[in-house]
Amino acid sequence: MNDNAEPVEGEEKSLFAAPPMAEQERMVEAILFATTEPVTVRDLEARMPHGCDAAEALVHLRKRYEGRGVQVIKVGDAWAMRTAADLAFLMQKETVETRKLSRAAIETLAIIAYHQPVTRAEIEEIRGVSVSRGTVDQLLEMEWIRFGRRKITPGRPVTFVVTPGFLDHFGLESARDLPGLKELRQAGLLESRPLPGTPQFGEERDDEEDETPEGQSELFED
């Protein structure tokens, strides 16, 4: 057997061994604790020593925080440390909003969340009234919505989608976890008047709305 055999082509050899998993877990914990914005696995590994497995460290860390006052949660494709949902009432004084969104902004935000990606014209069609530039600018400034892909239709209009910041604010992993309007009204977040174009919680959509138009994925460009 030749002790001087050449390493297999493509095999990556590190001069330093990766830290023990317990130490990697501590590193991930420190990063998530110190950052205000959710952090992706890729960004975590970019900060950690070569050879670290941030995804596995997150599994251990998330399990260790189960049942605690602070939990490790997934926000979109990123991770963050947040107060446990059942203890949110303890933070009410610190999280009370002194500035309320206008009804136009709330309706526009709800339509974008439930119908994304959606164009300004489609928002106006659903609401039945025009959408002012100030309303959209306010939501963009709050970083609750962002520009999505352009629709491949005449004029190539831009679309709007909700942001990870919106999901994080409401404790959602994805837009699929949005509550029904009945729940929103019970929580006092919406008035009792029905929001046009958005189905009630548990309410079936019309057959035309249930069906996904053929080739819908081809209606948008990256």
pLDDT tens track for 13-34 = 556 788 999 999 999 999 999 9
Mean pLDDT value of segment 110-116: 87
CA dihedral 61, 64, 70, 75 (to 10 degrees): 40
pTM for the structure as a whole:
0.47
Q: Which residue has the tokens 């610190």?
A: 94
Q: What residues have CB less than 8 Å from 114, skipping those under 6 apart?
A: 175, 178, 198
CA dihedral 64, 65, 68, 74 (to 10 degrees): -160
Residue-level pLDDT at 99 = 62
Label residue 217 by pLDDT band (50, 70, 90): very low
**Between 178 and 98, where is the model more confident?**
178
Residue 209 confidence (pLDDT): 37
The H or E element spanning position 148 is strand 145-151
Q: Which CATH number fits domain 21-89: 1.10.10.10, 3.50.50.60, 3.20.20.70, 2.40.37.10?
A: 1.10.10.10
- Alpha-carbon distance of 152 to 126, in angstroms, equals 20
Class of CATH domain 103-203+215-221: mainly alpha
**Same fold flag, 21-89 and 103-203+215-221:** yes
Going by pLDDT thresholds of 50, 70 and 90, the confidence category of residue 187 is low
- List the chain domain ranges: 21-89, 103-203+215-221
pLDDT of 96 strictly over 60: no
Per-residue confidence (pLDDT) for residue 43, from 0 to 100: 95
